[in-house]
Amino acid sequence: MVSSTVDHMIAVTVFLAATLLFIGLFNQTIQTAVIYQRHRATATKASDLLDNMLLSPGLPVNWGQTDANITGFGLQDPEFTQYKLSPYSLMRLRSSVGEPVYYNATEQWYSNVTIGDRNFMLVPYNLALEYSAVTRLLGINNSYGFQLTLTPIVTVSIQETSASPLTLKVTASGVGFPLSGATISYCFLKVGTHGNDPYYDISFDTVTADDTGSKSITISNVAADDSYAFIAYVREGGLVGVGYRERTKDQNKYVIPFIDSFDEGLVLLAHSYDVHFFGAPVPAVFYNATFVLLTEDFTLREMPIDTTSDHIVYGHGSDKTYENVTIPTHNPGILVVTYKAQGANQDGVVLMPWGLSSLAFPVTFGGDPSQQEWVATDMRHVTVGGIAYQAQIALWSLEGYQVVG
């Protein structure tokens, strides 16, 4: 009788222990499968969300060209179909990587995309769409986070191989593959001065790259200390890319363009000391602005704009803290501002894209995926103002942390 009871006790104990163990084992397998399913759903959502953003122009359809608030989010160019994005809608995305800039004169923060020393795209926060607002418009707030990255496919690098005579080596490549035999259309803008007033000489030409995707271009009548800007558009078999280079003589005194209104094409030109607070007051900066368009045959053309030259001072005195320039078109192009510091032999040039693609600026918009447990990615090839870009999305779930293994 006793042995039977002991037998039962041992059997029940062993059975319960084994049951608990197997429940744990099966549960782990099931849990792993559920997590895989959730990840699969996130990956599908990433693909769908990317298409949603790229294949809809948003509401109102021309929101990128206006200062209007939006009621629907989308990046498609309203004048086209399929994967052609609006270069202006992309400008209105608040950059998540650039350090924002505060400008005292307007008392506003600006979303900052700055490439190199003198190429700016500064959009006021009240016009730049915020990430959280976009997640609400997309209907994914509190359920998913995302980061959208648009990077140009073609990289055009420009090196100065000789200062006098000025020789520039233009090299174009895709993702690790040179664009051999590519057509290069370029615009060369040399800065000159009459007293304090800067002016520019502009020239255009088209050349062909060699088998390595490179071409050395010699520009005559440019001294070793002349300031200049060089902008090159490269195309090959349907791929189009942009590159640029400037040489400037000054260190800190220059012009910074701030976009003020997309509706009116209004750009504020500010003194760099007013923005970066370099120190004690410095001379005024005189400027001369022009606008360069990319035509449909991929050549560059200068477009005159009104009230293009004046001067700006540092500080908030009675003189001009900033000046306005109005860009009279919603065709993508480049605002080129040549400048000279008053009384000093310091001049240079700054560039601002009007339409993100004009200078092939990249955009990173959204949250930070680096701290997320699991991120799904997907990509598409798109064109923005005729320039080839790769659009990539990173998407993660905000509904708890789940880890496999």
> By three-state DSSP, how is residue 89 classified?
helix
CA 19, CA 270: separation in Å to the nearest integer?
A: 75
Which CB, 62 or 321, lies closer to other proteins? 62
* DSSP at 104: T
CB 279 within 8 A of CB 372: no
Which CB, 51 or 310, lies closer to other proteins? 51
Stretch that binds other proteins, among 32-40, 126-134, 278-286, 349-357 (CB under 8 A): 32-40
Nearest distance from C-beta of residue 61 to other proteins, angstroms = 7
Binding mask 179-218 for other proteins (x = CB under 8 A): xxxx------------------------------------
Q: Beta partners for 233?
A: 185, 242
Nearest to 282 by CA among 247, 254, 258: 254
Write down the number of H helices and E strands in the chain: 4, 23
Q: Beta partners for 52?
A: none
245-264 positions binding other proteins, by CB under 8 A: none
46-105 positions binding other proteins, by CB under 8 A: 46-47, 51, 60-62, 66, 68, 78-79, 82-84
Nearest distance from C-beta of residue 352 to other proteins, angstroms = 24
Q: Beta partners for 324?
A: 268
Kindly report the number of other CB atoms within 10 A of residue 121's CB atom: 26
Which CB, 25 or 224, lies closer to other proteins? 25
Nearest distance from C-beta of residue 370 to other proteins, angstroms = 17
Which CB, 155 or 321, lies closer to other proteins? 155
Rounded to the nearest 5°, which phi and psi values hold at 203? -140, 155
331-390 positions binding other proteins, by CB under 8 A: 376-383, 386, 388, 390
CB 110 within 8 A of CB 8: no
142-161 positions binding other proteins, by CB under 8 A: 153-154
Question: Beta strands 84-85 and 376-384: pairing type?
Answer: parallel
State the distance between the two ends of the chain, measured CA to CA, in whole angstroms.
48
Nearest distance from C-beta of residue 214 to other proteins, angstroms = 14
Residues that bind other proteins (CB under 8 A): 3, 7-8, 10-11, 14-15, 18, 22, 25-26, 29, 32-33, 36, 39-40, 42-43, 46-47, 51, 60-62, 66, 68, 78-79, 82-84, 153-154, 173-182, 235-240, 376-383, 386, 388, 390
